[in-house]
Structure 1
């Protein structure tokens, strides 16, 4: 009886959580709400079954207790014994049914859990999962000190507002993210994945639209980078087809290394009146030193694009004073009659306890039938220190930034985690006849309230020297930015 009571109580708790989840999901996508309601109804039905079985079990136990004092008449005693045996069989059957319901998720632990700030629904055997996803990144930026008045602007921006879901169906996985920033809806990570083994090593295959594995910051989600904006290498070394690509990606993992190869076309939403630009990408990293206190990271990448017929010129302009202020950029000048496009990069750095440091360099070469081969170059170096003792959120497995695990979350009465960071970026487009150059120093303070929310403050001191556009000649200024971020 005690085991049944605990099981029924657990089912009631799970039912309450399921109802709360369904109510919270009313603000999300209609399909997510429908699935959560189905899960809640299933849990409610299973809880009702457990309650009904409990009532029958209680009646049998009470009857068994009453039969404990056997009658004196031998005939009546024999009948009572037979009835008791039957009830004992029924009791065993009922207990087995209750255990089976609990194993299927009717009242067992883990049916609904909270991961990265959001609910995750999981089947009793763990083979099926469903995790709603979302993020909100709200920015404020203000620029001062430029000798060009239009560059000194202040404003707010929704850097990212996403809603989606991810999950597992055995070895198959799926993910879909819809971004609502900029008064437009764009699909970002939207793919089907498959976990398997290749040459005895863990491997992941992705089919669909995915963030490309290129450079440290370029391959990292914007909600995980240590600064409000990606670095110069991520910007200058980007492909003509963009940060995302629709195609196939394979990742292979070892004990202290990983390798990626991919073939992708244009991002989702490309025009259908010309062939895609096809990108071939490879990246690998290796940890020659790896221990409990940290690791050393060595990495490199290369990509080549076969440009579509609709790409006749390339005009690269990189933001340097945080993303919202589009007036402060470094211009490479337009290159006409392009025939080829490729780039490569190197990565060096590591983590030691609560410190981290990384450096990157890239060269992008654009071939033109009229201007020859033009090189775009960029260098980034950055360091950080987690004052509260946390380990940096950098994945030695994948070679990208991930989640910083907060030791004392604010939501649990702690102070959160505090991080100081500094970065130097160099942009060099001077190989072109009218290409510009620029550099920036960024100083940042990050306050991680818990594992899925943080407050960021960045101060950027920048310099530009453009030879085309409205803001030609040497110029400098300061941009202050702040971001409130919640991601689940």
Structure 2
């Protein structure tokens, strides 16, 4: 640093040589000397401030309050319980003066902004821990190929973006939090998660939060698991068919209660985000509870139940459904209801049971949905069930989130980017779907085997091989039909 100071002084002296060569007068020479002395003093002061900033940045930092990481909608990674703290990595040293303005470096350091690098993106914390901010994103890229169908129109090879999201999340203080995400997967801007929330502790071991905005359903095990966390490329038929007509989202409020072995939620919403304000929204009331009667470090038993009731808005009486059975990106491969109009509402309910022991997990779900029709016609009845399981051959634990009773992002023991093998999971699932009550209702089933390679906690590669069967009385692909679909995905979640 002394050499740097001497260099600065020498540079100032050299800069003065041309002026001296012009043989200025005594007054001009005095002014020039004072000017050069002031410049040298200013350079020395700036260098001293830079040294001080580097010393502060390299010193160990005190533990700070944890970031407010809001529950992922479609990816329910929960924040730590309020009033808990944990240390984070020290702040990095700022860049040199050649890269950034010194004044800005000093201003940021004086503000005490902390940066923690987590799942691929930074989390910013104010000095007092009161403010947090984090960008978030999701990129799910799929390739699917279907063959073996008796209909050439079903034997397709397609590509698609299951999700292409960008968003933000953060909080103010211990209690207030927010999240906003948009999706571009269909080459259109679609608002998905968008809410504000408040959380607090009632007593030791009992907490709550209340969220308001555009909310993701808390409905069943896979129905509450984010698209970036499901162990298969697509959710099972219970999640895709036993669902309100408005879909996975709605604008409203959701209070949730958490205790050490489970949680309960109640959701009241209208329609999802749209531009229709000329008629009243539909109304959906949905509740879910899950319980872990056995809960240990390497084993958990999961029990759950849920239900919803939906009143359709005026003019939204079409109940026609075509539910995926062999993957998302084959529009011809569906179990369909046929054309159904005159709907007035839906009611659905389901149950879930499963858990894990060490690296092996198992989950079974079943549900039923009654779609009410006008003019005295019988309900359209939908029945679905599934049994799924997986084994982490590398010994990693399943990414079960006991706070929400759903899957989240895994904790990979040996990430590939640190020289390890990553986490390797083998999966299998059988699912069934049946539409009953009308002559046009179809039925089908699918058996899937798969493999997931988690390079680290937020990057993975998935492969699913599906044998499927459909029997649709109506539509372009009627009668009994069988075939196979092979799908793969590359996924990155921030």
Q: What is the TM-score with the length of structure 2 in the denominator?
A: 0.79
Deviation string for 1:23-73 (max 9, x for gaps)? xxxxxxxxxxxxxx9xx98654244xxxxxxxxxxxxxxxxxxxxxxxxxx
- For residues 4 and 315 of structure 1, the distance between their equivalents in structure 2, rounded to whole angstroms, comes to 65
- Give the CA deviation at 1:12: 8.5
SS at match of 1:233: helix
Does residue 469 of structure 2 align to residue 463 of structure 1?
A: yes
Q: Distance in 2 between matches of 1:407 and 1:8?
A: 30
Q: Distance in 2 between matches of 1:269 and 1:177?
A: 15
Unaligned regions of 5+ residues in structure 2, if any? Answer: 1-47, 60-89
Number of the residue aligned with 1:175: 179
SS at match of 1:382: strand
> In structure 1, what is the equivalent of residue 72 of structure 2?
none
Change (3 A) 1:383 1:481: same
Distance 2:136 2:93 in 1: 21
Query: Secondary structure at 1:435's aligned position in 2?
Result: coil
Alignment partners' CA distance in 2, 1:480 and 1:451: 25
**Cα contact 2:413–2:423 (8 A) shared by 1:** yes
CA contact (8 A) 1:333 1:432 kept: no
CA deviation map 1:142-177 (0-9, x unaligned): 000000001001021111111111011111111111
* SS of the residue 1:134 aligns to: strand
* Equivalent residues of 2:165, 2:181 under 8 A apart: yes
Residues 367, 5 of structure 1: CA spacing in aligned structure 2 closer, same or farther, 3 A cutoff?
A: closer
CA distance in 2, matches of 1:473, 1:416: 44
Residue 123 of structure 1 corresponds to which residue in structure 2? 126
Q: More deviation in 160-169 or 262-271?
A: 262-271
**1:250-329 counterparts in 2 under 5 A?**
250-329=255-334
Equivalent in the alignment of 1:105: 112
Report deviation, 1:458: 0.6
CA distance in 2, matches of 1:403, 1:44: 37
Note the C-alpha offset of 1:340.
Answer: 2.5
Q: CA deviation at 1:454?
A: 0.2
User: Residues 65-464 of structure 1: matches in 2 within 5 Å?
Assistant: 101=110, 105=112, 111-170=114-173, 171-198=175-202, 201-370=206-375, 371-464=377-470
Q: SS of the residue aligned with 2:221?
A: coil
Distance 2:281 2:439 in 1: 29
- How far residue 273 of structure 1 moved from its aligned partner, in angstroms, is 2.3
Q: Distance in 2 between matches of 1:322 and 1:468?
A: 21
- Determine the structure 1 residue equivalent to 2:12: none
Is contact 2:282–2:310 with CA below 8 Å preserved after alignment?
yes
CA drift at 1:3: 9.7
Q: 1:142 to 1:44 in 2, by over 3 A?
A: farther
Displacement of 1:339 after TM fit?
A: 2.3
Distance 1:131 1:16, change over 3 A: farther
Is the CA contact (8 Å cut-off) linking 2:221 and 2:405 kept in structure 1? yes
The superposition leaves residues 317-341 of structure 1 with CA deviations (integer Å, 9 ceiling, x where unpaired) of: 1011110101000012233322231
- SS of the aligned residue for 2:470 comes to strand
Displacement of 1:312 in angstroms is 1.9
Distance 1:480 1:322 in 2: 9
Contact 2:182 2:190 in 1 (8 A): yes
Q: Is the 8 A contact 2:268 2:286 kept in 1?
A: yes
Higher helix share: 1
Which moves more between the two structures, 287-296 or 379-388? 287-296
Q: Helix, strand or coil: the match of 2:186? A: helix
SS at match of 1:411: helix
**Partner residue, 1:76:** none
Alignment match of 2:107 (pick from 29, 45, 58): 45
1:396 offset after TM fit, Å?
Answer: 1.3
- Residue 475 of structure 1 corresponds to 481
TM-score normalised according to structure 1 size: 0.80
- Alpha-carbon offset, residue 442 of structure 1: 1.1
Matched residue count:
411
User: What stretches of structure 1 of length at least 5 have no aligned partner?
Assistant: 23-36, 48-100
| Residue pair 2:378, 2:437 contacting (<8 A) in 1 also | no
In the TM superposition, residue 16 of structure 1 has moved relative to its aligned partner by 4.0
1:449 Cα deviation from its structure 2 partner = 0.5
- Supply the distance in 2 between the matched residues of 1:15 and 1:130 (Cα, whole angstroms): 20
Q: Secondary structure, in 3 states, of the residue corresponding to 1:229? A: coil
Helix, strand or coil: the match of 2:379? strand
Q: Which whole-Å deviations, capped at 9, do the CAs of 1:346-376 have from their partners, x for residues lacking one? A: 0000111111100000000011123222211
